[in-house]
Structure 1
Amino acid sequence: MRARAADHLEALSLEIERKLQKALNSNSQRLQLLQQLFADIALKVDDRARDVILSTNDDGIAPVDEREDTRLCFYEILANHFVKVPESGRRILDLIVQLWSQSFAANIFALLFHRWLFEVPLDGKEVSLRYSSALVQGATNVFWIDIQTNTRHFLSLYNYLLEEVALVPDQLSKISVQAGRGLFLLLSRFMLFYDQDHLLASFLEHFPTFPNSFLVGGPADYYVIELTDQLQKLKVEPVLLHYLSRLTILQGLELRMSTSTRLKACLYSFTSPGGPTYPTRAVRHAAWNTLDLLFPVGRYPRHVISLFFRLLYPWYWPSSCWNFIMTCVKTVYYYILNLIVSSWENMRRPNHQRMHRD
Structure 2
Amino acid sequence: MHRIDIQTNTRLFQSLFHYLLDDVVLNQTRLNKIPVQAPRDIYLLLSRFLPFYNSADRMESFLKHCPAFPNAFFVGGPSDIIVTELTDQLLKLKVEPVLLHYLSQIKILQGMELRMTTSTRLKSCLYSFTCPGCPVYPTRAVRHAAWHALDLLFPVGQYPRHLISLFFRLLYPWYWPSSCWNFAISCMKAIFCSLLRLIFSSWKKVIKPKQP
- TM-score normalized with structure 2 length: 0.97
Structure 1 runs of 4+ with >4 Å offset: none
What is the one-letter code of the residue matched to 2:180?
C
1:320 paired residue number:
179
- TM-score normalized with structure 1 length: 0.58
From 261, 268, 286, the counterpart of 2:145: 286
1:198 paired residue number:
57
1:256 paired residue number:
115
- Deviation track 1:70-95 (CA, whole Å, cap 9, x = no partner) reads xxxxxxxxxxxxxxxxxxxxxxxxxx
Alignment of 1:259-278 (within 5 A): 259-278=118-137
The share of aligned pairs that are identical, in percent, is: 66
1:307 paired residue number:
166
Whole-angstrom CA distance in 1 between matches of 2:78 and 2:9: 28
- Deviation track 1:204-226 (CA, whole Å, cap 9, x = no partner) reads 11101111111111011000000
Q: Does residue 353 in structure 1 map to residue 210 in structure 2?
A: yes
1:167 paired residue number:
26
What is the one-letter code of the residue matched to 1:208?
P
Whole-angstrom CA distance in 1 between matches of 2:26 and 2:53: 16
1:56 paired residue number:
none
Q: Which structure has the bigger radius of gyration?
A: 1
Whole-angstrom CA distance in 2 between matches of 1:231 and 1:189: 9
Whole-angstrom CA distance in 1 between matches of 2:33 and 2:54: 26
Q: Does residue 228 in structure 1 map to residue 87 in structure 2?
A: yes
> For 1:353, what is the secondary structure of its paired residue?
coil
Higher relative contact order (CA 8 A, sep 6+): 2
Whole-angstrom CA distance in 2 between matches of 1:210 and 1:297: 32
Which deviates the most, 172-181 or 315-324? Answer: 172-181
In angstroms, what is the RMSD of aligned CA positions? 0.9
From 298, 305, 308, the counterpart of 2:157: 298
Deviation at 1:175, TM superposition (A): 2.3
Unmatched 5+ residue regions in structure 2? none
Unmatched 5+ residue regions in structure 1? 1-141
Alignment of 1:1-358 (within 5 A): 142-349=1-208, 352-354=209-211, 357=212
How many correspondences in the alignment?
212
- Deviation track 1:260-286 (CA, whole Å, cap 9, x = no partner) reads 111111110111110111111111001
- Deviation track 1:31-74 (CA, whole Å, cap 9, x = no partner) reads xxxxxxxxxxxxxxxxxxxxxxxxxxxxxxxxxxxxxxxxxxxx
- Deviation track 1:115-161 (CA, whole Å, cap 9, x = no partner) reads xxxxxxxxxxxxxxxxxxxxxxxxxxx10001111111111100100
Deviation at 1:252, TM superposition (A): 1.2
